[in-house]
Structure 1
Amino acid sequence: MGKVLSEQQIKAYVEQGFVSPIDVLSEDEAAQYLHRLEEAEAQYPEWVNPHKRNNVHLSFKCLDELAHHPRVLDAVEDLLGSHFSLWGTVLFCKDPESPHYVSWHQDATYMGMSGHTFVTPWLALTDSNIKTGCMQMIPGSHRGEILKHEDTYGEYNILTRGQQVIEVDETEAVDMILKPGQMSLHHAKVIHGSRPNQSSERRVGFAMQSFMPPEVEQVIGKNLWLDARGHNPRKNNRVLRRPAYDLDPVAMSDRALADTNMDDILYRGAAQKRNF
């Protein structure tokens, strides 16, 4: 038995490559965090919008708090052990009746890490279900190799390159249905994606992508990390700083560095670079 995850849940993660749902916040707490995020979107659209959705936790306290929430970190510790750090975060928002989707892919493909033993929590701030376009996972797909991906640059594909795995048996897909305040955890190599939002409600998810143990290093770009738990020594490591308040200039300068680094890594070798 872990701090948050049961033995059965840990076994499911090892065998399937994901575990869900995991309670993190009450629905009232999730609504409060959503309100704070939407206030930030309204007041500071230049810092959080569909084209500025990476590493928003370095700009606003509401997402910084979620990225360091004890329930999130305890669940990650159950899978990685007591030493790990955070590489980055991504906001995944789908407006009502939006055609935007996420194609089938494996996170590890373009992230430039030395290993694949890292975990991504995906926290729902609104209902994430079949109608709103929840994530879907292909169970057991993390046990194989990184598969060939095709860069499509699809207009409504919200991945950087519109990258997609060529062949996926969608009949095996499992829906990650989450209530506000619940999260899923998935492995770096598990194949996953999501469909468009066909509902009249907005779907908002916060991906902490990803928590890494000390032995995993960045081998393409700079080693930029945010401390999470324990001791995380790495070569040429730079520890990013958490915001003390919204738009803290110290953390904002680190966000600029982290965003540029992430773009350079994710778009390495790409035929074109998009604005997200």
Structure 2
Amino acid sequence: MTPPPASLPEAARADAASLQAFYAREGYLSPLRVLPDGEAAGLLARLQAFEASRPGGLPQAFNAKVHLLFPWLWDLVCDPRVLAPVTAVLGPDVLCWASSFFSKAPGTETEVPWHQDGTYWGLTEPRALTAWIAFTPSTAANGGMQLVPRSHTTALPHVRTANRNSMLPAREEVSVPIPRDEVLQVELAPGEMSLHHVMALHGSERNRSDSARVGFAVRYIAGDLRQANGAKPGATLVAGLDHGTFEMEQRPAADLDPEAVQRYYAMLRKMAQAVFPERNKGR
């Protein structure tokens, strides 16, 4: 069997048809340059300034739809440079379903166990992906993402674990062996992005370097999808038409604007009811 390609060929990165073909076959696209180095550095500086201003940094409670709290993250989620390859593979109508930072400080034990994103999203179809935008270098040494190409065609069994170092909200993990000889290390420079299919098998190890790894994960879905259980949580229209399947979210007026924070918690409750309905019984 021929090994999967190590990365997206340079010649294919500006051609929509080539992006579609590679993504359909391999289940990912990487690396994609979406921001210049200086712009990525500016975004990292804004995040670090906010974290330095608050004890404990960015609260975990804010890190589910964080673009609803900061205008500069809303603008990044809606940035045409980010959306060009996203719409190439998902179609013209696209929603942002969620967004969060995956940050690993040097020497910490946090990790992302092997999993498929779509296991607990509860969508009617797997026409969805995660865009992973690097704010810092993402490498093997600092716990960069690993992925198994062509693993997106089969839903694998998962279990919920007691792993306290897991960065996943349900602490989920696949319960089958990982094909180690097929694993691809996804390496990104600041301002580069990877896309992976909602069912692509992936994970990341702890940060063994002396510098932080910071990435912004944006969950995009095709605009006509629904929650399979009939719930109608919030989503952000980023391209094309609103199909009426989600409640439309609003851009915040300023960082942590009080009205935006109030709207954020309302949307967070609706999302929890849609994704983890068993946790909300009797409430």
Please name the residue that 1:216 is paired with.
225
Superposed CA offset, 1:41-76 (max 9, x none)? 222458823454211111112211211111111111
How far 1:192 moved relative to its partner?
0.7
Superposed CA offset, 1:95-120 (max 9, x none)? 01111100111111101111101121
**Residues 1-276 of structure 1 correspond to what in structure 2 (within 5 A)?**
4-44=14-54, 48-50=58-60, 52-144=62-154, 146-167=155-176, 168-209=178-219, 211-220=220-229, 221-235=231-245, 237-269=246-278
Please name the residue that 2:6 is paired with.
none
How far 1:269 moved relative to its partner?
4.2
Structure 1 gap segments, 5+ residues each: 271-276
Structure 2 gap segments, 5+ residues each: 1-10
After TM superposition, which residue ranges in structure 1, 4 or more long, deviate above 4 angstroms? 1-6, 44-47
How far 1:79 moved relative to its partner?
0.9
Is 2:133–2:217's contact at 8 Å kept on the other side of the alignment? Answer: yes
- Which letter maps to 2:171? G
Residues 246-255 or 56-65, more deviating: 246-255
TM-score normalised by length of structure 1? 0.90
- Give the aligned length: 267
The percent identity for this pair of structures is: 33
TM-score normalised by length of structure 2? 0.88
Q: 1:78 is paired with a residue of what secondary structure?
A: helix
RMSD over aligned Cα, in angstroms?
2.1
CA distance in 2, matches of 1:126, 1:64: 19
Superposed CA offset, 1:122-181 (max 9, x none)? 00000000001111111111112x211011120111111221111221221111100000
Cα gap change, 1:45 to 1:217, in 2 (>3 Å): farther
Is 1:5–1:78's contact at 8 Å kept on the other side of the alignment? Answer: no
